Chain A
Amino acid sequence: MDLLLCSLLIYLLGTMTIIWPHKLEMTAHYAGTACAIIASGMVAVISICYLVMPVGGLLVDTDWGSYSLAADGWSSVFLAITGIAGFFISIYALDYAKGYRGSRIRALTGLWNLFLLSIVAVLIAGDAFTFIVAWEIMALVSFLLVNHEADRKETVSAAYQYMVMTHLGTAAILVAFYLLGSHSASFSFVDMMQNTLDGSLKHIAFGCAFAGFALKSGLMPLHTWLPNAHPAAPSHVSALMSGVMLKVALYGFGRFAFQFIGMDNIWYGLIVMIVGLLSAFLGVLYATMEVDMKRILAYSSVENMGIIFGAFGCGMLLMAMHLMPLAIVAFTAATVHAFSHSLMKGLMFMSAGAVMHATGSKNIEKMGGLLKKMPYTAFFTLIGAMALSSLPFTSGLVGEWLVLQSFITLAQQAGTPELRLLVVLSFILLGLTGATALGCFVRLYATAFLGRARSHIVDKAHEQPFFMLLGMGIAAVLVVAVGILPDSVVNTMQMLVAGPMTAPMGNPLGIMWGGSGHYAIYSPVIILAVTLVITLAVAIAVACFGGGFQRREVTWNCGTVPTERQQYSATGFSKPLRRAFDSILNSQRRTEYIRKDHDYFGRKLQVHLEIPDLFTEKLYKPIQTWMISSSSAFRHIQEGSVSLYIGYTMIAMIFVLIWGVM
């Protein structure tokens, strides 16, 4: 019996909690979550073993007629991502989901297992049919999970928006599969690799596949479901959706790009790269404007998926120029960043859940000073925030460094000045993205955890139960471990995309890349050592010579005692950026006086700030308006009058007769 199929069976066992008796709902929850933990751990171990030693097969040949399961290196990376993220998020869910006691917790746990099961099934599907079925189960189960708190109106609307959008994506993927399958021997992936698709049909297939997978991974302009669905879902579900489900879309797109469509066309890579980079920049820009913690993280997912797809597009461009040895850096960057994003975004959504659990709110403007109330959570969040803003010693920088290296490589190799200019501009955009991400997470962390409490909801905040901290802790340890010793992960990913023949980029000291013309080295170990030495030296110096200049004072505030309302608010913190990019953001500010007795004193005012989503306003709303108006025009055809219907029959008959006469 295959171990991977075994883990699928355990997931299935966990799904059975749906039908447990109501009295035993907590037992059902524990048992189901334990199933998810065990099965995810198994998936992680199996796939990592396969990645380290790719001998034999991940799956013993499972072939049922025209349907089959198959797993290769590309799927095992994503299986590892699923397994690891599923493992620590499930541990977190053990305590987190307790909050849903009495409100369909059995369904939550059961669907959680089914969700993980469907993700694994997508990754090991060996033909288009199995893939689509698993993909659709994944979409439906995640819809149900997003819709779990269905008694709130915004949850339901977010869930249905997600449902509609994700089905559009599935439709596009179906078209792509249909086109490919009709030009190959069968719909199995092995046969589809030898497809004979050519010309404009190939362009259509590529466009559909890219649109479908970009929608699922939340690239702009198809991202609109994402910032609504993530805050609506329970936190561990958002963590899994953002950490893993978005990567599954990358898996699908990678399979199309590597195996089915090929990368000969330079436009394919260019489109993917530009869409990815624009999503990265706009995503982080919107993230910086939000005050809802989970919406910030959701937009940050848009950003990171944008970076990943940008790197992937960069690799596709290098492949189109037939520079296979150099393209590996880009694909390695994409996979490494996908892996590290699954860790850090999982971590951050978990800590958002912890904060919500403690304060009952997602609005960071109401928080502040949580560091003292929940120190462990604050520490783990700090690591996650550092990783997402790609600071050293975290996995975030490893991926981002490789992405930057791949762009430098591309700029170096670009044949034409136009392409080089474009790549240089992309590089600048990427730098801007990184800087904005730093600002975004400084803002998030500082507003929520530092300073003083902004409202009374912080007062009752408390540290989280053990398993929630354990889940976050595992993720945080992994983030730091990959950040300090990146060589194993980088080498594994490199071996996967390039084969075992190439010289590995990583060694115990760090990562090196010589493809960009210069020898680039990133060594977290050396940086860590230098930092430690400097810190130690400063500490010793302070201990020996200083010590006298430490005094505690209240901040000087023009003679008054500073209150918590005088702290930087999150909105205020991001105002310079909002002003700078107002042409894109188009923010709507409205000031309202509640009381105004005098021009300067005794006045009370309310400021409403709205930042409409660019694509919702400029793309989706016009389409929506047009669709509604055109359907109401069409409605006159269907008036409900019987004589009108008979009239249609008559007109049809006259047409047939006239046609006969002609």
Chain B
Amino acid sequence: MDYLVVFLVLVVFLQTRITDLRRAVICMASQSLIIACACFWLGLSYSSGFHAFVPGLLTLAVKVIFIPGAVLHLVGKLTNEREILSESNVNYSTMAAALFLVLGYALVERLLPGSAGRDIVAASILMIMTGLSMMVLRKRAIIQIVGLITLENGIYLLGLLLTQGLPLVVELGVFLDVLIAVVVLVILTSRMRLSFMTTDTSVMKKLKG
């Protein structure tokens, strides 16, 4: 499990540095894969049988295969090179991510001292904050989708750890939510590409009355 957390933190840090859209999506997929592994591992360790594997399988299907596939398909349509390379200086994002990690650990020390899953909590806080900051700071719609998934993964991981597996109905609902959100986002982004010839969300300011 510790290795998984290390990989997760590594992937998230990598994600803050990536400017290429395709790599960002692959990074997101691998992040989701780690989450799925964590899911299986937790399922085994608590030995709650079949119930524990369903979320893992769902994560695998939705977040590792379907969503990245759809987004990659969208990226494939973006022919403009300038589109594919993102713009901003990524060093600040990385530094912010480091700060978030420190914050996460500080929080765990205060709130859950001596807890077994302190690394996981810290990592999930890192993911939540990084996802949020990606949505706020980046202008490319695709990166913002990646940020949303990162945020979602973080919340999911935290929930998984704290509750030792949510009820199945809730899990299904959460996945449906994410799925629909991403489908809508992908559709919107592709409409945006058709209308504005770009996926830069800053052009949307023109729409303001």
Q: Which residues of A contact B (CB under 8 A)?
A: 640-644, 646-647, 649-650, 653-654, 657-658, 660-662
- Determine whether the beta carbon of B208 is less than 8 Å from that of A660: no
- Determine whether the beta carbon of B103 is less than 8 Å from that of A658: yes
- Determine whether the beta carbon of A661 is less than 8 Å from that of B132: no
A642 to chain B, nearest CB (A): 8
Q: Considering only CB atoms, which chain B residue lies closest to A643 in the complex?
A: B136
Please measure, in the bound complex, the distance between the C-alpha atom of A588 and the C-alpha atom of B137, giving whole angstroms: 55
Q: Considering only CB atoms, which chain B residue lies closest to A662 in the complex?
A: B110
Please measure, in the bound complex, the distance between the C-alpha atom of A641 and the C-alpha atom of B201, giving whole angstroms: 10
- Determine whether the beta carbon of B125 is less than 8 Å from that of A657: yes
Produce 1/0 per residue, B89-130, CB < 8 A to A: 000000000000001001100110000000000000100110
Q: Which of B107, B135, B136, B144 contacts A661 (CB 8 A)?
A: B107
Q: Which residues of B contact A (CB under 8 A)?
A: 103, 106-107, 110-111, 125, 128-129, 132-133, 135-137, 144, 201, 205, 208
Q: Considering only CB atoms, which chain A residue lies closest to B202 in the complex?
A: A641
Q: What residues of B have a CB within 8 angstroms of the CB of A646 in the complex? A: 132, 135-136
Q: Considering only CB atoms, which chain A residue lies closest to B136 in the complex?
A: A647
Q: Which of A647, A649, A650, A660 contacts B107 (CB 8 A)?
A: A660
Main secondary structure of the interface of A (DSSP, over half): helix
Q: Considering only CB atoms, which chain A residue lies closest to B107 in the complex?
A: A661
Q: Considering only CB atoms, which chain A residue lies closest to B103 in the complex?
A: A657
B139 to chain A, nearest CB (A): 8
Please measure, in the bound complex, the distance between the C-alpha atom of A646 and the C-alpha atom of B132, giving whole angstroms: 7
Please measure, in the bound complex, the distance between the C-alpha atom of A658 and the C-alpha atom of B103, giving whole angstroms: 8
- Determine whether the beta carbon of A643 is less than 8 Å from that of B135: yes
- Determine whether the beta carbon of B136 is less than 8 Å from that of A654: no
Q: Considering only CB atoms, which chain B residue lies closest to A648 in the complex?
A: B136
A636 to chain B, nearest CB (A): 14
- Determine whether the beta carbon of A640 is less than 8 Å from that of B201: no
B147 to chain A, nearest CB (A): 9
Q: Which of A642, A644, A654, A662 contacts B129 (CB 8 A)?
A: A654
* Extra 10 A-B pairs, beta carbons < 8 Å, given A641-B205, A654-B103, A657-B125: A640-B208, A642-B201, A644-B136, A646-B136, A649-B132, A654-B129, A657-B103, A660-B107, A661-B107, A662-B110
- Determine whether the beta carbon of A661 is less than 8 Å from that of B103: yes
Q: Considering only CB atoms, which chain A residue lies closest to B135 in the complex?
A: A646
Please measure, in the bound complex, the distance between the C-alpha atom of A641 and the C-alpha atom of B205, giving whole angstroms: 7
Q: What residues of A have a CB within 8 angstroms of the CB of B128 in the complex? A: 653
Q: What residues of A have a CB within 8 angstroms of the CB of B201 in the complex? A: 642-643
Q: What residues of A have a CB within 8 angstroms of the CB of B129 in the complex? A: 650, 653-654
Which of the listed residues A642, A643, A647, A649 has the most CB atoms from chain B within 10 Å of its own CB? A643
Please measure, in the bound complex, the distance between the C-alpha atom of A641 and the C-alpha atom of B207, giving whole angstroms: 11
Q: Considering only CB atoms, which chain A residue lies closest to B128 in the complex?
A: A653
Given known A-B contacts A640-B208, A641-B205, A654-B103, A660 and B110 have beta carbons under 8 A apart: yes
- Determine whether the beta carbon of B208 is less than 8 Å from that of A650: no
**14 A/B residue pairs, CB under 8 Å, sorted by A:** A640-B205, A640-B208, A642-B201, A643-B144, A644-B136, A646-B132, A647-B136, A653-B129, A654-B103, A660-B107, A660-B111, A661-B103, A661-B106, A662-B110
A408 to chain B, nearest CB (A): 66
Q: Considering only CB atoms, which chain A residue lies closest to B209 in the complex?
A: A640
Please measure, in the bound complex, the distance between the C-alpha atom of A253 and the C-alpha atom of B201, giving whole angstroms: 59
Please measure, in the bound complex, the distance between the C-alpha atom of A662 and the C-alpha atom of B109, giving whole angstroms: 11
Q: What residues of A have a CB within 8 angstroms of the CB of B103 in the complex? A: 654, 657-658, 661
- Determine whether the beta carbon of A650 is less than 8 Å from that of B136: yes
Q: What residues of A have a CB within 8 angstroms of the CB of B132 in the complex? A: 646, 649-650, 653
Please measure, in the bound complex, the distance between the C-alpha atom of A464 and the C-alpha atom of B128, giving whole angstroms: 80
Please measure, in the bound complex, the distance between the C-alpha atom of A1 and the C-alpha atom of B135, giving whole angstroms: 71
Q: What residues of A have a CB within 8 angstroms of the CB of B208 in the complex? A: 640
Q: Considering only CB atoms, which chain A residue lies closest to B109 in the complex?
A: A661
Q: Considering only CB atoms, which chain B residue lies closest to A640 in the complex?
A: B208
Given known A-B contacts A646-B136, A649-B132, A653-B129, A661 and B110 have beta carbons under 8 A apart: yes
Closest 8 CB pairs of A and B: A647-B136, A650-B132, A661-B106, A643-B136, A640-B208, A661-B110, A646-B135, A646-B136
- Determine whether the beta carbon of A650 is less than 8 Å from that of B133: yes
Q: What residues of B have a CB within 8 angstroms of the CB of A649 in the complex? A: 132
Q: What residues of B have a CB within 8 angstroms of the CB of A640 in the complex? A: 205, 208
Q: Considering only CB atoms, which chain A residue lies closest to B100 in the complex?
A: A654
Q: Considering only CB atoms, which chain A residue lies closest to B205 in the complex?
A: A641
Q: What residues of A have a CB within 8 angstroms of the CB of B111 in the complex? A: 660
Please measure, in the bound complex, the distance between the C-alpha atom of A647 and the C-alpha atom of B132, giving whole angstroms: 7
Q: What residues of B have a CB within 8 angstroms of the CB of A658 in the complex? A: 103
Q: Considering only CB atoms, which chain A residue lies closest to B131 in the complex?
A: A650
Please measure, in the bound complex, the distance between the C-alpha atom of A649 and the C-alpha atom of B135, giving whole angstroms: 11
Please measure, in the bound complex, the distance between the C-alpha atom of A630 and the C-alpha atom of B15, giving whole angstroms: 40
Q: What residues of B have a CB within 8 angstroms of the CB of A657 in the complex? A: 103, 107, 125
B208 to chain A, nearest CB (A): 5
Q: What residues of B have a CB within 8 angstroms of the CB of A653 in the complex? A: 128-129, 132
Q: What residues of A have a CB within 8 angstroms of the CB of B135 in the complex? A: 643, 646
Please measure, in the bound complex, the distance between the C-alpha atom of A647 and the C-alpha atom of B135, giving whole angstroms: 8
Q: What residues of B have a CB within 8 angstroms of the CB of A642 in the complex? A: 201
A639 to chain B, nearest CB (A): 9
A658 to chain B, nearest CB (A): 7
A333 to chain B, nearest CB (A): 59
Please measure, in the bound complex, the distance between the C-alpha atom of A649 and the C-alpha atom of B132, giving whole angstroms: 9
Please measure, in the bound complex, the distance between the C-alpha atom of A643 and the C-alpha atom of B205, giving whole angstroms: 11
Please measure, in the bound complex, the distance between the C-alpha atom of A406 and the C-alpha atom of B103, giving whole angstroms: 73
Please measure, in the bound complex, the distance between the C-alpha atom of A646 and the C-alpha atom of B131, giving whole angstroms: 11
Please measure, in the bound complex, the distance between the C-alpha atom of A565 and the C-alpha atom of B208, giving whole angstroms: 59
Q: What residues of B have a CB within 8 angstroms of the CB of A662 in the complex? A: 110
Which of the listed residues A653, A657, A658 has the most CB atoms from chain B within 10 Å of its own CB? A657
A257 to chain B, nearest CB (A): 52
Please measure, in the bound complex, the distance between the C-alpha atom of A490 and the C-alpha atom of B99, giving whole angstroms: 81
Please measure, in the bound complex, the distance between the C-alpha atom of A658 and the C-alpha atom of B110, giving whole angstroms: 10
Please measure, in the bound complex, the distance between the C-alpha atom of A658 and the C-alpha atom of B129, giving whole angstroms: 13
Please measure, in the bound complex, the distance between the C-alpha atom of A641 and the C-alpha atom of B133, giving whole angstroms: 15
Which of the listed residues B128, B136, B144, B205 has the most CB atoms from chain A within 10 Å of its own CB? B136
Please measure, in the bound complex, the distance between the C-alpha atom of A661 and the C-alpha atom of B107, giving whole angstroms: 5
Q: What residues of A have a CB within 8 angstroms of the CB of B106 in the complex? A: 661
Please measure, in the bound complex, the distance between the C-alpha atom of A644 and the C-alpha atom of B135, giving whole angstroms: 10
A537 to chain B, nearest CB (A): 83
Please measure, in the bound complex, the distance between the C-alpha atom of A658 and the C-alpha atom of B136, giving whole angstroms: 20
Please measure, in the bound complex, the distance between the C-alpha atom of A247 and the C-alpha atom of B132, giving whole angstroms: 61
B201 to chain A, nearest CB (A): 7
Please measure, in the bound complex, the distance between the C-alpha atom of A524 and the C-alpha atom of B14, giving whole angstroms: 100
A270 to chain B, nearest CB (A): 54
Please measure, in the bound complex, the distance between the C-alpha atom of A661 and the C-alpha atom of B111, giving whole angstroms: 7
Please measure, in the bound complex, the distance between the C-alpha atom of A409 and the C-alpha atom of B106, giving whole angstroms: 75
B101 to chain A, nearest CB (A): 12
Please measure, in the bound complex, the distance between the C-alpha atom of A276 and the C-alpha atom of B133, giving whole angstroms: 60
Please measure, in the bound complex, the distance between the C-alpha atom of A653 and the C-alpha atom of B107, giving whole angstroms: 13
Q: Considering only CB atoms, which chain A residue lies closest to B111 in the complex?
A: A660
Please measure, in the bound complex, the distance between the C-alpha atom of A650 and the C-alpha atom of B135, giving whole angstroms: 10
